[in-house]
Amino acid sequence: MGLRICISCIGLVGNVFLILSIFQTKFSRLKSFELFLLGLAAANLEEIVIVNIFDIIINQPSTVSTWSCRSLKLLTVFGEISSILFTVLISIFRCQKLRDANKRGNLPIFLDSIRSAWLVSGVCVMLSALLSIPTFVINLQHLAENITVNNSDCSPDFFLCREDYYPTLNCVYKYLFILVCNFLPLIIVTVSGCLIIAVLLSQRKTMTSVVSVSGTGQFGRKSKGLRIQRSTVGVLAAMALFQVDWTIYLLFQLTSDPTDFPFWAEIEFFISTSYTSMSPYVYGIGNNLFSHKNFIKK
């Protein structure tokens, strides 16, 4: 419990600080990337808060209402999916920005437009809501119309698809969820990461070949390139953290039954919350949002 509280506090501080940093230094000239970071931080924050409320309620000796249990599950899955989709959006955006940058020059891509960024962010939120609604409908079907349920029945297992309870609808949702919300995003992030690394290696060779060229203009372009590379390395580090966490999650979901592990809720908590807690620090440091100057201002 102490470790859960520590990780949750780290995540709360990191996500709140990332949101405040963007609002204070970037909001007047908000760009697409900062908007995506805001969406990610908000989703992370919502998931951490709801997961801890969920944990407090189900560990109370009293009963919890059916609607409360369903609502908490829906909000938890909504935050989880939103965090995943915004991570995918960030990886696609950064990959598009870097690919063919030399040929494109200063011409913007589709997601550079702030209107387009708001549009795709809204689509991410809508998809998260649609994909999380089934948890509100199917999770507690076996409880019929009970007004209240035992806290043991309000388990953090979102699918309730196990050896001793195997309803078709629940299990269809489970594997559809794993495919659409875990496996497919993992593939997209992995492919985007590989493309970004290839572009960075190519840019590194180009910068090395012109390192002997002097001049103020060349120095300015080189400094700008280094800043972009630092930001991209931060994105890559966050993507790597995402890949590790959700690969472990997939392995657990596909190879084990939650009833086989008495600490399944804790395992799932640490897998999902480690990304939502650590990613704001990785993005913030990589994009110079977690600088000493900003810390003093806060």
Position of tokens 């190519």? 202
d(CA 133, CA 70): 10
CATH code of the domain in which 245 resides: 1.20.1070.10
Specify the pLDDT at position 12: 92
Q: Which helix (H) or strand (E) holds 149?
A: strand 148-149
Q: What is the mean pLDDT of each run of 10 residues along the chain (298 residues)?
A: 85 90 72 89 92 75 70 86 93 83 68 87 93 76 45 61 66 85 92 86 64 49 56 85 89 72 72 86 80 60
Report the amino acid identity of residue 127.
Answer: L
Specify the pLDDT at position 197: 86
Q: How many domains does the chain have?
A: 1
Specify the pLDDT at position 113: 84
Contact 157, 264 (CB under 8 A): yes
Specify the pLDDT at position 61: 58
pTM beyond 0.75: yes
Specify the pLDDT at position 143: 47
Q: Residue 11, Cα to own-chain centre: how many angstroms?
A: 12
Where do the DSSP E strands lie in 35-90? 64-65
Specify the pLDDT at position 27: 58
Q: Which domain holds residue 264?
A: 2-210+217-297
Specify the pLDDT at position 227: 57
Position of tokens 């998809």? 127
Report the amino acid identity of residue 255.
Answer: T
Specify the pLDDT at position 109: 78
What six digits make up the tokens of 170?
Answer: 């629940």
Position of tokens 């100057």? 293
